[in-house]
A = this chain, B = another copy of it.
Amino acid sequence: MSSSSAALATAGTAPRVPLTKKALTADHPTWCPGCGDFAVLASYYRVLEKLQYPHENIVTLAGIGCSSRFPYFVNTHGVHYIHGRSLPFAAGVSLGRDDVHVFVFGGDGDGFSIGGNHLVHTGRKNVNLTYVIMDNFVYGLTKKQTSPTSPIGFKSKTDPTGSIDQPINPMQTLVNSGATFVARSHAGQVNHMTEMMERAARHEGFSVVEILSECVEFYEGAFDAAVPRKGGQFRTIELRKNDGTPEDALRHDPSDEVAAFRLASEPWPGVFGVFYESNRPTKNKLEAGLIAKAREKTKSASDLEVLQATFRRMR
């Protein structure tokens, strides 16, 4: 989601007080103690504090899931929609109101299972919004069923002897979706996560961050392989600097879709950082262009005049 969309001047004339974490905090989260989602929430506060958007112009949306309870825990305009369909709703908000900043939060089930198709189509349309997927490799809210990111062998209530369906590859799926900013982070790496979320928020277009966020209740230790203090490795992506040095050729070029797809095929736990970034025009801009063209044709006639002219043609 872009910071470039001009904020509509709103009524108040008093100088704005800075937006603080305190002002952003709402209900106490109902998550289990230790759930990775707390850290994501904390990062979101930090990003909003950095961005200092007008408070009333921030919208936090979600579908259904533990992670999708997000909107209740942030004091912004908030929407708790239905399971798997948050993206079309959010896209409607973004296209309807270019002055607001749209953030969507959700889980792996919400985003990749029931909502998988909306991801692809919001992606190819490049609607200007930021989407954070809190991936815990499991269905949390419904208490431990296999999710489309659960690894083969994971023992859940729907796969008591271990799951057998090949999971999707989230990064490959996102790169293929047409999203113009695709990044990956880990809820245990607060600074990295905050940086990714901030970059996503500043990106103009459809930006997605997958954050590995542990479900301590139903999939403890799922991401230990990426946690250094548990003996894992948190490998980050070095991005190309275009400085002409020979080392630079080895660095990742985030505008290269095929390279991003290849990077996403690295074995578990893979790498973290920005996989893909491009600046294809957003649907917001393209639709604004259609409007401008149409209005040029009607010579910016008023709505009433346009409709009257149409009726005259039906005489």
Contacts and interface: CB of A to CB of B under 8 A. Distances in A.
A118 B173 CA distance: 14
A33 to B, nearest CB: 33
Contacts of A283: 164-165
Contacts of A114: 117
What is the copy number of this chain in the assembly?
2
A188 to B, nearest CB: 27
Nearest to A172: B176
Interface in A285-303: 286-287, 289-290, 293
Given A173-B176, A258-B261, A166 B120 contact: no
Interface residues of A, number: 33
Interface of A: 113-114, 116-117, 120-121, 124-126, 148, 161, 164-169, 172-173, 176, 178, 257-258, 261-262, 265, 280, 283, 286-287, 289-290, 293
24 contacts: A114-B117, A116-B116, A116-B117, A116-B121, A117-B117, A120-B168, A120-B173, A121-B148, A124-B165, A124-B167, A126-B166, A161-B290, A164-B286, A164-B287, A164-B289, A164-B290, A166-B280, A168-B178, A169-B176, A173-B176, A176-B176, A258-B261, A258-B262, A258-B265
